[in-house]
Amino acid sequence: MGKKYNQLSREDRIQIEALYESGMKAVKIAEQLGYHYSTIYRELKRGKTVRRNRSDWSEKEIYSYDKGQIKYEENKRKCGRKRIMHEKDEEFIEYVEMMISDYHYSPAAIMEEIKRDGMEYKTKICLTTFYNYIKAGVFPNVVLADLPYRRKKKIKRKQKVQKRFNKGTSIDKRPKEIETREEVGHWEMDSVVGPQGEGEKTLLVLTERKTRKEIIRLLNNHTSEEVVKALNRIERDLGEKKFRETFKSITVDNGTEFSDWEGMERSRRNKKRKRTKIYYCHAYRSCERGSNENLNRMIRRWFPKGTNFDDVSKSEVQKVENWINQYPREILGWKSSDEMYQLEQAI
Contacts of 71 (CB under 8 A, 6+ apart): 46, 47
Q: Please provide the distance, in angstroms rounded to a whole number, between the alpha carbons at the two ends of the chain.
A: 35
Beta bridge partners of 169: 279
**Do 276 and 248 touch, CB atoms closer than 8 A?**
yes
CA–CA gap between residue 194 and residue 46 (Å, rounded): 34
Alpha helices in 122-223 (DSSP H): 127-136, 176-179
Count of CB atoms within 10 A of residue 3's CB? 16
Beta bridge partners of 190: 205
Count of CB atoms within 10 A of residue 302's CB? 15
Q: Which residue ranges of the chain lie beneath pLDDT 50?
A: 1-2, 80-83, 153-156, 158-162, 164
**Do 216 and 317 touch, CB atoms closer than 8 A?**
yes
Give the global pTM: 0.68
The DSSP string of 285-302 is -GGGGHHHHHHHHHHTTT
Nearest to 251 by CA among 284, 289, 215: 289
The DSSP string of 238-278 is H-HHHHHHH-SEEEE-S-GGG--HHHHHB-SS-TTSBS--E
- 41: exposed, middle or buried (Cβ count in 10 Å: 0-12, 13-18, 19+): middle
CA–CA gap between residue 47 and residue 194 (Å, rounded): 36
pLDDT of residue 82: 47
**Do 226 and 203 touch, CB atoms closer than 8 A?**
no
Nearest to 186 by CA among 135, 281, 130, 250: 250
pLDDT of residue 27: 86
pLDDT of residue 5: 54
36-95: per-residue pLDDT in tens?
878 888 888 888 887 776 666 667 788 888 877 777 766 666 554 444 555 557 888 889
53-75 in b/e form (b: 16+ CB < 10 A) is eeeeeeeeeebbbebbbebbeeb
